[in-house]
Amino acid sequence: MSEYKIVMPSKPRIVMEEKNKGVYEIDGLYPGYGHTLGNSLRRIILSSLPGASITSIKIDGVSHEFQTLDGIKEDVIVVILNLKRIRFKMLSDEPQTVTLSIKGPKEVKAENIKTGGQVEILNGDLHVAEVTGKVNLNIEMKIEKGLCFISKEAFQKDKVDVGTIAVDAIFTPIRRVSYEVENMRVGDKTNHNRLRISIETDGTLSPREALSRSIEIMINQLKAIIDFKEPEIFAPEEIEVPALSDSKGVGKNGAEDKKGSDFADILKTRTDGLDLSTRTLNALSGANIRTLGGLARKKREDLLEVEGIGEKGISEIKKVLGKFGLNLKD
């Protein structure tokens, strides 16, 4: 009798871990699954792990990145490129502002940046600039959390102060990741796969943590599409609708009418069509909150537990819900 059950693979095994580098193996994969899992995990590791990066820079006396500064050896664009190489670890989900204030002559390093309590610099010995004259160098930087890579054009859509320079943001904490697949024996079969994954991070998270998070993200994505189920739509009566103002001639009866078919359609509105930031949309999608009705069923405390949503995200969500006459659940 031929076997028809697909064997389960082993747990990831540590081959090597050294500082921010790690090599891991998964044995006993069904034939062909090595490349299936390896390619998927590699793409998730590169694109879906959050990190912190500089998104805008403001330098005293500078209006654009192609200027030069008296008493500074490097051009402004070189200084900006050096600043972008600094790796930050943020303890808060909210954007943070850090400053650099130096009086020359002096070599400026990343460790000279004043970060406060919510930001940590991991490569403090990185060279930023060399102040050759008796001049002051004052720089203000905005640090944000995000995913993958976002071009400066995306940040320029928002209004920025005069003299503020938007920069391309490389959020990913991954420097490189690769995988190899080789055949191995399982029982009397020699065509099963062994998957070996090599990961190097920037130090803001460990390679083991990067692999664990990527596996968790993949599982959550697959759970969301099981059984071809549509996103759960809750009945209008289950969602609290505030009474409309009497000054408009609409009271309780108006609210009841709103709970009819039109309101049910509103609750089916997908979150990706709402006026929310990319960061908030990604966080809601990761938590499998895909409709306006599902969002209105959540409590403030529930949303704060979602990775990527902080107080700023809550305010943003409340503002959007308010446009539809909805509130978060008490």
CATH number for the domain spanning 283: value is 1.10.150.20
Residues ≥6 apart with Cβ < 8 Å to 274: 281, 292, 320
In 3D, which of 54, 27, 8, 19 has the Cα closest to residue 184?
27
| 91/150 same-domain check | yes
Total domains, the chain: 3
User: Which range marks the domain in which residue 160 is found?
Assistant: 51-167
Give the model's confidence band at 230: pLDDT under 50 very low, under 70 low, under 90 confident, else very high.
low
In a domain, 182, yes or no: yes
Per-residue confidence (pLDDT) for residue 290, from 0 to 100: 83
What tens digit of pLDDT does each residue of 91-145 get?
888 899 999 999 979 999 999 999 888 899 999 999 999 999 889 999 999 999 9
Choosing from 129, 151, 167, the residue where a domain stops is 167
In a domain, 5, yes or no: no
What tens digit of pLDDT does each residue of 29-70 get?
999 999 999 999 999 999 999 999 999 999 998 888 888 888
Query: What does the block give as tokens for 57?
Result: 């820079």
In a domain, 106, yes or no: yes
Choosing from 150, 167, 184, the residue where a domain stops is 167
| 36/102 same-domain check | no
CATH number for the domain spanning 76: value is 2.170.120.12
Distances from the Cα of 31 to the Cαs of 23, 39, 195, 306, in angstroms? 21, 15, 11, 36
Cα dihedral 314→298→288→6 (10° resolution): 140
Choosing from 167, 186, 204, the residue where a domain stops is 167
| 183/241 same-domain check | no
In 3D, which of 212, 198, 149, 201 has the Cα closest to residue 175?
201
Q: Give the mean pLDDT of 238-248.
A: 44
pTM of the model: 0.66
Per-residue confidence (pLDDT) for residue 251, from 0 to 100: 44
CATH number for the domain spanning 19: value is 3.30.1360.10
